Chain A
C-alpha cells in the first residue's frame, strides 16, 4: 500500500516521459494519476487503524545489509495526514498546470509526478538513508521546475535555492553517517536515541533551511516569486512540511537531550521568524511576497509548537502543518489566477476585483478568513493549541505568538482589501473574467478540505499519535 503510493506517481512519470503522447493526453494522464493517488490515499485513511496507532502498512526489504540499510516504509497517524496533504495539493497543482497549459507538457507533468512520489517517500520512509534519498530526490524535479518554467529571475532563484538547501542536506548526510554507523543500524524504528549535539545540529541545519527558519530564509522570497504559481504552492505548502516532519520524526524523537539544550535558541529563532515574517508580509509590495513571508511566519509557529515538546504542541503543529499547507497552496494558486488576468502581482496596481467577480471574491475571502485564524476556523484551532503548548514553556512565548496572530490578521486583511476592495486598480481591466469553472474545480476542493477541518479539527488532533499522547509517543522515539 505504502509502496504503491510511492511508486504509482513515479511509474506514471516514466510512462509520460517515455510514450510520445500529445499535450492533452499527457496532461490528462498526469491528472488521472494524481487523482488515483488521492483515491489510494483515501483507501489508506479508511484502512489505517487509528485506535491502535503506531507504524502500519510497513514494508521492509534489505537494500545493503553490510551497513544495515533497508528499504523500509510505513505510515504513522500523523504521516497519514501529511501524505494526504501532499497528494491533494499535488493533484490541485497538476490540474492547474494542465489547465494553464505549460510548455513542454510531458517533461513538466512527469516532473510534477516524480515530485509527488518523492515527497510521499519522505513522509513514509522508515530508514534514515532512504529518508535522505527521498529528501534529496525532491530537489531533482524542483530544481528544473523552478529553473525552466519560472519567471525572468529564475536562474538566480534556483541557484540560491539549491545551494542553500543542499548545504543543509549535506550536513544532514554527515550526521546520518555518524549516527547510523555509531548505532549500527539506519532503521528509524530500531535506532536508539542519541545525545550527540553535533549530530543533532546537522539534522537541524537541514530542516531549518528547508522550512525555512529565520535567519536561513535567504532563498525563500526569490524562489516563491520566480517559480510558476503551482510550483510555489507546492514549495510552500508541501515541501516545507517535509522539514517540519523531519523535526518531528528525527530531530525531536531521536535526540531528547540535545533538544533540551537547544530548545530555547530554536524557539527564539522560530519566534523571531514568526514576528519578522509577519512584519515583512505586511510590508510586501506584491501578492506572492505576502504569501511567501506569511509562510516563513507560519513555519516559525509550527516549529514553536514542535519544540514545546508536549501533547498540545505536537497535535497543534500537525494540524497547523496541514492547515498551512492547504491555505498556502490555495493562496498561491489564487495568486496565479489573479496574475493571469492582470499580468502583475503588485498590490498598488490591483484593486476592486470583487466587483462583478463573486466567485473569486468568495473563494479568496474564505481562504483568507481561515488563514487569519478567526475563531471556529481550523487555523484557529491549530494556533490555539500551539500557543497553549508554548505557554507551558514560558508565558513570553505565547505573547509573541498572540502578537503574531494579530499581525496575521493585519496582513491578510491588507491583501484582501488590496485585491478585492478599494477602487479598481490600473492593471485590472473590466474584461478580466471571474474564476472559470476549471479554476473553481481546482481551488474549491482545497477550500472544502479547509472547511471540513474547521468543522472537525479533531480529525487530525485526535488521530495523529498513539492514544492521543503525542509527548510519550515522540519522546520515546516512536518505539
Chain B
C-alpha cells in the first residue's frame, strides 16, 4: 500500500487519539449527575421534561449551597429510545463524566439495558418513567431506585375502578415492546383477578403510523372499555385515528399514566374526553403541594408540569441521601436511600420501600375533561404497590389466552 495511505491512517489515529485523551475539565467542589432520556423521536416529550424537572431540582439545591458543599452539575444525553445508544451514553456518563447519579432512561427496554451498566459500575440509578415490571423484580439490583409506578402498581389501582365504574368487558390494546407488553400483562392479570373479562388483546409495533388494521378486531370484540397502553406520539396518532373511526364515543377509554403528557391534551381534547388513568401527578390537581409545585415549575419554564416530575424527586432523594451518608460513595448513598423519606417532593412526603427500592406513592385516578387531567379518586400507595418480588418472575404462569365467559 502506498505510503500516503498510511499517512492518512496515522493522521486519523492521531486525531482520534487526541480526541480520546482530551481530559475532561475538572472543577473542584463539583458533583455531576446524569440525565439520560429520549430527546428526539416517539418519546421526545418525556425526555425533555425529565431534563427540565432535573434542572429545576439542581438549581434549587445549588441555591441552597449544593450537596455536601459541592455544586451540582447536570449532564444530559440522548438515549435515542434504543438500548444500544442508551448503554453507550450511560457508559459515557459514568466512566467519562463520573456522574454520581444517573436518571433514566425513558423507554423500558433502554432502562433495563442501562440497569446492567449501573449495576456493573456501581452507580445510583433512578428511574422516573419506565414501567416494565421486571425492573424491581428479576432485573433489580441494589443501586436501582424508582418512583415510577410500574405496570403492577398501575394495574392494581386502575382495574378495580374500571370493573366497578366503567364496565367488565375490556379490550387491551398495547404497544408491542417492553412497556406495553408489561402493562397489558399486569392489567389482564389484575382485571381477571377481580372478575373482569378480557374480550381481546392486540399489540401494535412501537412507532406505528396507521392503527386502523387493528380496529376491526376491536369492534368485533365489542368491549365496554378499551384499555390503551401506548405513549408519546403513538398515543397521539392512535387517539386521532380512533376518534375519526368514531371509537372514542363508542367505548369508554382508559390507559396508562404516561399515555400522553398534559401538554399534549389540549390539542386532542375531544378524542381524549373521559379517558381514565392512574397517575401520581397532574397540574390540575387542587392538592396544595401539587399546586405549589406546579406554580414553581410554570414560573420557571412557562408551562405546566406533568408526570415527569418524578425526575425532580430523584435528584432530591439522592441529594438527601448523600447528605445523610456524608459521602457520594454509591454503596453508602444506597444504604442511606433505603427506607428514606423526603418531605418536599412534588407531591409532598414520600418514602422508599427498603425491599425493592420503590417509592410508595399515593396516586390519583384522573379523568380527562376539557383537555385537563382532573382527579376523581385518591388511592394510597400501600394499596397499589403490591408485595416485594425481588428475584421472582412477575409473569410466572401468565398467558395471553382469552378466557371466554358464558
Q: Are the chains A and B members of one assembly?
A: no
